[in-house]
Structure 1
């Protein structure tokens, strides 16, 4: 699918058309916002660098001030403008919710008005009790609507048994197979370390081929969803706050660029969210972000707009 397909026509100010959930459409000039989700250590930052074909994201072996922060970078890949949002390990089973709260709020400002696709990142490995717990935790947060925008992406492809593809590998794990099924059967595999060559003997084990396939899958996801992004009351409320700040900044600084105005506005909104949502538990925030409707979303959206 070309960048123009599924764009839904002209672009309204600030990239928004109307106020309904289904009216946030992808325009030719928009960047596809792709959120990368998964527990710490599965290779999310390395995956982002592999998709971009260069090092844009810091890679770390442990949780630290760099790798535990939400970060977004934009680049044109295969003719598409792509914004990759590297999220911290929301689904780590060994981290307190308190540690994650600030980064959840930071991610909300990056996600707004909503992502066009989610990548759920898992390793090619033997799924221990801990890995199974991560998948169960994901299931408890993600809504049916979320899965319409999601693809499962496996890293450490060199661990695939010889002659097996990723679909064959996951077929013996009920939880993983079920997760992929909820994502419409969409899954891909890469290896951030060993599959960077041309792979003449086995084209399947080539990052270049897998990334091309992944981007085509995301094109199909966007097309199937009518060009709209995933959004809900919370993300739309945050976007309204960002637009209000942009308008205020442009009154204060007439020569400020659109990109800089949005960057500064997101920072201002983030500070406000930290204060306004101080009493809201991290788990409630996650449910509100990854569910389309429900009491959590209504409560959080009201607090955002207060």
Structure 2
């Protein structure tokens, strides 16, 4: 009725009363994916100011991405024109079917005439007996060849099926290490990324209570977009004097095998301390000078007091020169993630954009993981084995 263009301006709104399910069903998930993740939940009536603010921000985001003019009269006219063409095509197909019916009747008439001729030439059977025997021999030869070819096709299909089953476990793997200072929101962001990447929408949001500090490296995995995504959460890898914790460094690299492919440097919007301005230097000493080439900056928004949050591009453009320099050294690759309960509806498209950026960065390096010269792969594999046995 409105054409495929209307999907660019469509937002799915869920008006929910009573019990809310934790996981989206397949039909709703498919609709959300068609709408590029534009999905907003309103828990009751009337809607709260935060929920309406979230919806309005999603509308602004949609118009900024698809064009401020919105859905136009020209788009509607074009959809009606295509609908008219489809109707004409259906009529044409109906006429084709009628023609095919007439052809079938004609063929039946020809078969009847052929039978009549066969009756008239019955007396010629003796003469053609030898020819018929030859034709029968040729037919047997043809059938034998056809059966041989069919057997070859079945054998080839079986081999392809075996190869498919063999490669079923060889899925694309992407390994990401979360880095940042305590209180930056690493753990909350990691949990939210895993939920949204796994197509889960839980009412138990990660920031509903103060998260516990991360004391050890932790690995979590989820299947996302036909591949396996591995996130490794880490505590601070150095102390107040800037001395690295070598054991934690080995742990995070071992848990990221086969990888890491991407480092996710987590910073909280509105907070940029002296320690965070020195992070890149510490991390380059730990992982190597090429660290920044494999790094994406993730800004977490944990302050729910703002009704209309500042756009992340404006935030970076007006940030301290030290933060701007950090962003520039990391290739100006940065994303934002709302981890507050009131604005969690925005996290679905945000995680989708972040994962697209991760895949793009991995592809730019040819799909190869980041290798450090400090530790061999064999040493890290042995470390991982020891950690798994310990747990």
TM over 0.5: yes
**Is the 1:196–1:208 Cα contact (8 Å) retained in structure 2?**
no
> 1:12-91 residue pairs with structure 2 within 5 A?
29-53=171-195, 61=211, 63=213, 67-90=214-237
Go from structure 1 to structure 2 and tell me whether the alpha carbon gap of 1:148 and 1:31 turns closer, same or farther (over 3 Å shift).
Answer: same
Number of residue-to-residue matches in the alignment: 214
Q: CA deviation at 1:138?
A: 4.2
Cα distance, 1:39–1:233 mapped onto 2, change above 3 Å: same
- Give the match for residue 118 of structure 1: 263
- 1:113 and 1:231 in contact (8 A); partners too: no
Hey, what does 1:291 align to over in structure 2? none
The 5 A counterparts of 1:130-169 are 130-134=275-279, 137-138=282-283, 141=286, 143-156=288-301, 158=303, 162=308, 164-169=310-315
Which residues in structure 2 correspond to 1:1-306 (within 5 Å)?
A: 29-53=171-195, 61=211, 63=213, 67-90=214-237, 94=240, 97=243, 100-134=245-279, 137-138=282-283, 141=286, 143-156=288-301, 158=303, 162=308, 164-171=310-317, 172-194=319-341, 197-198=344-345, 206-235=346-375, 237=376, 239-241=377-379, 264-267=385-388
Which consecutive residues of structure 1, in runs of 5 or more, have no partner in the other structure? 1-26, 199-205, 246-261, 271-306
Q: For residues 207-238 of structure 1, what are the alpha-carbon distances to aligned partners after superposition, in whole Å with 9 as ceiling and x for unaligned?
A: 11110000000110011001101112234x1x
Q: 1:266 to 1:68 in 2, by over 3 A?
A: closer
Cα shift readout 1:38-87 (whole Å, capped 9, x = no counterpart): 011111111111001169x9996564xxx210010111124331000001
Measured in 2, the distance between the counterparts of 1:48 and 1:227 equals 22
The structure with the largest helix share of the pair is 2
Larger radius of gyration: 2
Distance (whole Å) between structure 1 residues aligned to residue 223 and residue 241 of structure 2: 34
Task: Return the offset for 1:174.
Answer: 1.2
C-alpha contact 2:175 2:257 (8 A) present in aligned 1: no
Q: Is the 8 A contact 2:284 2:290 kept in 1?
A: no
What TM-score do you get using the length of structure 1 for normalisation? 0.59
Unaligned stretches of 5+ in structure 2?
1-168
> Taking structure 2 as the reference length, what is the TM-score of the superposition?
0.47
Q: Structure 1 28/217 Cα, relative in aligned 2: closer, same or farther at 3 Å?
A: farther
Provide the aligned C-alpha RMSD in A.
3.7
